[in-house]
Structure 1
């Protein structure tokens, strides 16, 4: 079974089509970021406590994320130096006091434009795997036909 099929099967068996619990958190500058204002407009990969190397890879993949309307939301402890790191168009760094939001979403979760949780991951997933999952989604395939990319 391919990795994509395994992730999709696990999502289906876990009831991953459930709606996404809403949250509002702050970035390093103290600005509020509300999940609700992004649901339905973008796909979201919520990742708890990603490493500096993972964040660097996200930054390198910004163009691929833009094409897929995929925003990576990194949840970090308020004291984490990574909160002050560079952001890109599709990377959002948020302080998660007490890890409350991370507890709701787990190590990582992919939310589709239909606002449902499409996959949950036991650790921050390889971006190539997430991009493959997104590319297999019917809505993304329709976007590719319409946009030509």
Structure 2
């Protein structure tokens, strides 16, 4: 919990969060996926090269992620077999051919609905940590009051 507090305090102390760099990548079906199309509607957890176990946990936590309007965007290398893995409503698998997007996000980041980078991680963070951080965000607290969940 101390890590969560430190992240929340560093975000609060810095004032406005830095804007997330825009990007467009392809999914396994060759469809383009643009960050700008999701800002304002969803929070995004960008994770680079997550393990198969991490992706399985995202699928298991699908409902908790949906309640918080949180989508996990997994950046994988081209040809990675996981690109064709099982889908979930809150999981997007994208091919980051050059690794540029992963480098921009350092390699993992949480982006708020406002497009600001709320937290950066050195490795894919535990989902419970991310969910707890999201629950502290003022916009999420307002959503809970309005939605009752």
Question: Under TM normalisation by the shorter chain, which class is it?
Answer: over 0.9
Secondary structure of the 2:98 match is helix
Residue correspondence of structure 1 range 93-104 to structure 2 within 5 A: 93-104=93-104
Deviations along 1:98-134, whole A, 9 cap, x unmatched?
1011010022100001110000011100000000000
Give the unaligned 5+ runs of structure 1. none
After TM superposition, the score normalised by the length of structure 1 is: 0.95
Pairwise CA RMSD? 1.5
Secondary structure of the 1:97 match is coil
Match of 1:20 in 2: 20
The alpha-carbon distance between structure 1 residues 105 and 73, as it changes in their structure 2 partners (threshold 3 A), is same
Match of 1:50 in 2: 50
Pairing 1:87–2:81 present = no
Residue correspondence of structure 1 range 106-117 to structure 2 within 5 A: 106-117=106-117
After TM superposition, the score normalised by the length of structure 2 is: 0.95
Residue correspondence of structure 1 range 1-149 to structure 2 within 5 A: 2-11=2-11, 17-149=17-149
Give the unaligned 5+ runs of structure 2. none
The alpha-carbon distance between structure 1 residues 54 and 31, as it changes in their structure 2 partners (threshold 3 A), is same
Q: CA offset at residue 16 of structure 1?
A: 7.5
Aligned residues: 149
Secondary structure of the 2:109 match is strand
